[in-house]
A and B are shown apart, each in its own frame.
Chain A
Amino acid sequence: MINYTNEEIFSVRFKNLSKSFGEAKILYDLNFGIHRGKITTILGFSGAGKTTLMKLILGLILPTEGEVIVLDTVINKIGELELREFRRNFGMVFQYAALFDFLTSFENVAFPLREFTKMSEEEIKEKVLSLLDSTGISIEAAYRLPSELSGGMRKRVGLARGLALDPHIMLYDEPTSGLDPITTHVVYDLMRDTHRRNEHRGFTSIIISHDIHATLKYSDYIVFMEKGRVVEHLDVESFKKSENPVIRRFLEL
């Protein structure tokens, strides 16, 4: 079992966290942390509360009870302007990439740099091309619109955009949804390589997924959720050996 009393090892912590939407309770009294510098996958069936948890981490919604502590800041207690500033600690890859469809791949990646840094256009160009190159996007594809890219390429550009501001925490929402098995592994390889390259600075990757096989291969820790509760939070090897019947059922799928 993971010891949650040593708080320094966690990038994100949940304390007595509950969330309801009207009458519907989505998350029940969560108390756990996500390890700094590690790849953690939040796993579970549809409706387990994974996406709600992700939105709480980002401060897009507020908890009904409890606290969300990210990098030692209780983000549900800070003001809106401060929260917006704080969100620059996050990078995010959306389920369908969510690239701005009116901008080319290059401009999508340059977007946060133009918004939040004082870099010159020359510096931006250098950084964007380097990010795109590290995610396997060619120069030619860099100047195409998202509608002209394949699903896998869009995810790569999304990853490059998420990394543009050198975030401390990278979130992936169902990163391989809609991709074929080969591209799925290419994208996971890329996520793992990205993580390893940034690991030295405490870079934390949080993946929301229901893809059990890829999760077991690429994660360091797994949080298994069911109906708004954490069933298990274990390192991958312990998870594989878990005797919990819900997890066994999931593993046998």
Chain B
Amino acid sequence: MLAFFEKRITNLGETVMDLLNGLGSFTNFTLRTIFWTFKPPFRFKLLFDQIYFMGNKSIFIIFLTSSFTGMVFAIQIYLGFKAINTDSFIGPLVAIAMAKELAPVLTGLVVAGRCGAAMAAQIGSMKVTEQIDALEVMGINSYQYLAVPRILGAMISMPMLSAIFLIVGYGGSWVIGVKLLQIDPILYTQKISDLMRLGMVAEGLIKATVFGYLIGIIGTYQGFRVEGGAEGVGKGTNMAVVWGMITVLVVDYFLTSFLAKIL
């Protein structure tokens, strides 16, 4: 009996220690990347490459996700609102929900899946093939060279992708609402100016920027902590996606609560 409890307590102790070690190492990584962000040389070419990869190359998947999200959302709201004769509110409701929540969160999930995984895989494979050591031996800081452009690239790309999500998603809902559900096009857009405020769009863009930072820091951190060979890279990639997505969803709740008070 005593041995049973002893084993359980030991396991718990080890788990807590692992957690604290992980937290310490993540904090250390975060502080280092912040430090090296403001140290020259500033690598603008690498930053633009990352913006191109994360932004431009994600546009198609964002188009696809946002247009269908907008269309589905319009149908679902229509089914509910039609019963109480308030279908004139479908347009503004879609626009507000897209601007405040759906655009930043769904863009975050897509980018975490696509770019967070790519960051971890690229950096992880460089680590296991000693390419990161090669950078360090040359005197180049690997955090500055590999992590900083990716984190900043995600922070810059995310609000732009989120804005595209908002516009295309609303366009998708408009097509369904006006063309399929026969809602008056003027009615569909008119109330937006009455009900929507600039702060709502700002809220979405702030969220997207924060999510971009989180996806970037998690993706690069998971890449840098890869150990072993291909299996380690696979594990790091998986962790980047899982933690990236979870973090977006959890942080969204706290950001929503916080931004609701200040915007």
Contact = CB atoms under 8 A, between A and B. Distances in A.
Contact of B137 (A92, A95, A99, A100): A92
Contacts of A98: 129-131, 133-134
Given A94-B130, A98-B129, A101-B129, A60 B136 contact: yes
Contacts of B137: 58, 60, 87, 90, 92
Interface stretch (B2-10, B138-146, B152-160): B138-146
Nearest to B137: A92
Interface band, chain B: 10 to 19
A60 B126 CA distance: 17
A99 to B, nearest CB: 8
B138 A96 contact: no
A116 B139 contact: yes
A87 B131 contact: no
A84 B41 CA distance: 13
Contacts of A90: 137
A180 interface: no
Contacts of A86: 139
Contact of B139 (A85, A94, A96, A100): A85
B138 A87 contact: yes
A88 interface: yes
Interface in B71-112: none
B240 to A, nearest CB: 19
Interface string A57-90: 0101000000000000000000000001111101
A88 B139 contact: yes
A115 interface: yes
A94 B138 contact: no
10 contacts: A60-B137, A88-B138, A88-B139, A92-B137, A94-B130, A94-B134, A95-B130, A96-B129, A100-B131, A101-B126
Interface of A: 58, 60, 84-88, 90, 92, 94-96, 98-101, 111-112, 115-116
